Amino acid sequence: MLPKKGNPPTSAKNVKAEVFSSSASFAEMEAIAKRLRRHIITMIGKAGSGHPGGSLSAVEILTALYFKVLRHKPSDPHWSDRDRFILSKGHAAPALYGALAECGYFPVEELLTLRQMDSRLQGHTDRTVTPGVEMSAGALGQGLSFAIGVALAGRLNLKDYGVYVLLGDGECDEGQVWEAAMAAAHFKVDNLVAIVDNNGQQIGGWNRDVMNLEPFNKKWRAFGWHVIEVDGHSIPQLTQAFDQSKKIKRQPTVIIAHTIKGKGVSFMENNPDFHGKAPNAEEVKLALKELE
């Protein structure tokens, strides 16, 4: 099934029918971030499976992008001048679905169909069914390469769109990430921004125990990238970093966003058990109470 073009906006409060403008205040974006966390807990709890930890850590990054940085049109997901957002860590699909629904790509109520048969919202992203999803993902390590292709296509087609790609830090264990990092610098892909959700953990625990990435910033710099480090839960710092990235020419930018896995729910924070486990009914209740 092909994605439906021009889905009508939903009842969500922040929906605008045309190009999103950058008018949301920081306070409004913080409120949106809280709603995204509630969506993540509710939809994964209902589905009975999914990845809460790495979805919750990415919430402010997605909020800043979708409500401040990206030029996009929820009423026309295929608009050719849109900025592209590519979720390379495809298991964080619930966070992306929440942001897309809040923008009006599809109804917020549809979030409750996560992972059901025939739902447009599968456990990992599928660009052929979900309005607003740019890449089918789930096999880690591929999004940066994909994003370079999209960015170079923009350059060839004389388009001025930006390409933003979100990677996990554990995902950066993949060799393909570093081949892509080399290629982006070599081809001076300056319409590309990579964001690393640097929550310090992956599926099997702390990165420092599984595969140490440090000195992470120096690695990116050595590969020819402009590096910015921010608190990945600070929407002001994130938006400032995205602003700065637009001024960097003839070099790709990476934003290393320091985050907490499971952010916002005390018993999920820094708890690898909730990497890929759904909260049970009691845990959903507790989590939603914390997110009031």
Binding site for ligand TPP (CB under 6 A): 51, 53-54, 57, 89, 91, 138-141, 168-171, 197, 199, 201-203, 261, 275
Q: How far is the CB of 5 from ligand TPP (least distance, A)?
A: 30
- Residue 284 CA, distance from chain mean position: 23
**Sign of the CA dihedral with 258 first, then 126, 279, and 62 last:** positive
Cross-strand partners of 231: 258
CA nearest to 197, candidates 182, 213, 186: 213
* Closer residue to ligand TPP in complex, CB, 113/202: 202
Residue 207: CB minimum distance to ligand TPP, A: 7
What is the Cα–Cα distance from 206 to 197, expressed in whole angstroms? 14
Rounded to a whole number of angstroms, the minimum distance from the CB of residue 156 to ligand TPP is 29
**Toward ligand TPP, which CB reaches closer, 102 or 169?**
169
Contact call for residues 52 and 278 (beta carbons, < 8 A): yes
- Specify the residue, 53 or 98, whose C-beta has the smaller distance to ligand TPP: 53
* Token pair 């570093």 in the structure block, residue: 178
For residue 17, the minimal CB distance to ligand TPP (Å) is 33
What's the closest the beta carbon of residue 59 comes to ligand TPP, in angstroms? 12
Closer CB to ligand TPP, residue 121 or residue 196? 196
Which residue minimizes CB distance to ligand TPP?
168
> Please, which residue, 75 or 201, has the CB nearer to ligand TPP?
201
202 vs 239, beta carbon nearer ligand TPP: 202
Q: Given the complex with ligand TPP, which of 24 and 144 has the nearer CB atom?
A: 144
**Interacting residues of 222 by C-beta distance below 8 A, sequence separation 6+:** none
In the complex, minimum distance from the CB of residue 172 to ligand TPP, in angstroms, rounded to a whole number: 7
Q: Which two tokens stand for residue 196?
A: 């690393």
Nearest-approach distance from CB 100 to ligand TPP, in angstroms: 19
Of 226 and 261, CB closest to ligand TPP: 261
Rounded least distance, CB 265 to ligand TPP, Å: 14
